[in-house]
Amino acid sequence: MNTQDINRRVRLVMDLRSKGIRDTRVLGAMERVPRDVFVPAAVKDQAWDDMALPIGRGQTISQPLVVAIMSEALALSDRDKVLEIGTGCGYQTAILCKLCRRVYTIERHKYLLEHAERRFEELRLRNVTALAGDGMKGWPKMHGIEQAPFDKIIVTAAAREKPPQKLLDQLSLGGVMIIPIGPSGDQMLKLYRKDSIEAYSVRDIMPVRFVPLLPDIASDNEDAA
């Protein structure tokens, strides 16, 4: 790592602190995970700026501040098993890997998932399992093994009115889910806590802008868009 990269990382962390991020584990993860690995070559010079960037397939890598806020709100521990809906380029996934026991992540765009998995391998992230699938259905039972319930769930695409019921069902009792809710142009990042089998408490975090949460695996035509 050269001096310029070190300076950019330190500057980003200082910027996040000035904007209210206090969790030292989150700040440490944001400093250690090389964001430039997760962005296309055309925008690498902006990788350490606090801004969202395009990653192809109509998707973006989230603004570092949003990644930090979502990660901090989850209050992750090294014992937590986390479900992530929307792997994208894998940047948020990599941050989660530094903060919890294991991450299970679902992406509907096979192209993005394949590239994300290469980055996980390059960075030697061994506590992540990724698959292409319909994130609205939660993590599927595989080889007779059920991974649900999850201690924490993070959704990086916006549900229009409320979280998918299947995701709420996969949340452990006392667990929390962070998810953007609302139509394009009027989205609110919300934190849901599962207080009982049927009851949830909800609080608003901040207004955000995310791509919509969509069902099914992306078609070949959509995946090439």
**Cβ atoms of 55 and 89 closer than 8 Å:** yes
d(CA 199, CA 210): 26
Of 49, 178, 132, 33, which Cα lies nearest the Cα of 92? Answer: 33
Say whether 62 is catalytic. Answer: yes
**Identity of residue 177:** M
DSSP letter string, 31-62: HHS-GGGGS-GGGGGGTTSSS-EEEETTEEEP
In 3-state terms, what secondary structure has residue 80? Answer: coil
Three-class SS of 114-136: HHHHHHHHHCCCCCEEEEECCHH
Active-site entry in 18, 62, 71, 219: 62
**Cβ atoms of 151 and 172 closer than 8 Å:** yes
Active site amino acids:
62
